[in-house]
Amino acid sequence: NVEQWKDRNDATLLHGVDQLNRGFDSITNEKSLRELVVLNVAAGKIAAETHTAFDIGTHYFRAAIDTLGEEKLWRNHYSIAFAAHIGLAECYRNMGNCQRCQRTVEEIVLHAETIQDKATAYIVLIEAFDGQDKWEAALELSRSTLTLLGCPLPVNP
């Protein structure tokens, strides 16, 4: 049950999720699999918040996505799918892996249900471009994101 983890410390949660991931093949109950996805997203956020464990964060976010499968996760659990993919994109951005960040953002945009969700994903990619000194790409994506949000930025003001 996800509720039992709320009062635990971070190390306990990470250890528990690792153990559950090792045995996830034996979990057949859909509700239990969904709870494992939620726990992996929580573990990914904890790992990413340490600002040094982005690779560990990617492990948990990938596990969250892979537990139910990408399409099933998007179709049946949109908010969890969005959280897992945004967390994964942010980890890739913070690791300097612009290519994987871009692929993850493209996946988010493909399934995004709202303009705000698309914009949130694009902002992560803009930051990844900026971190790689790809300023033209960052500027171009910033312009298109602002246009998407209804605030077009003129090319030559």
Assigned domain for 156 exists:
no
Domain count, the chain: 1
What's the Cα-to-Cα distance from 88 to each of 65, 130, 140, rounded to whole Å? 10, 18, 23
Distance in angstroms (rounded) separating the CA atoms of residues 50 and 154: 39
What Rg, from alpha-carbon coordinates, does the chain have? 17
pTM of the model: 0.86
3-class state of residue 155 by DSSP? coil
- Give the residue among 35, 114, 105 at the shortest CA–CA distance from 68: 35
What does the pLDDT look like over 50-69, one tens digit per residue? Answer: 767 788 999 999 999 999 99
**Residues whose CB is less than 8 angstroms from the CB of residue 124 and which lie 6 or more positions away in sequence, other chains included:** 86, 89, 90, 93, 101, 105
What does the pLDDT look like over 89-132, one tens digit per residue? Answer: 999 999 999 999 999 999 999 999 999 999 999 999 999 999 99
Provide the domain limits for residue 9: 2-149
- CATH code of 49's domain: 1.25.40.10
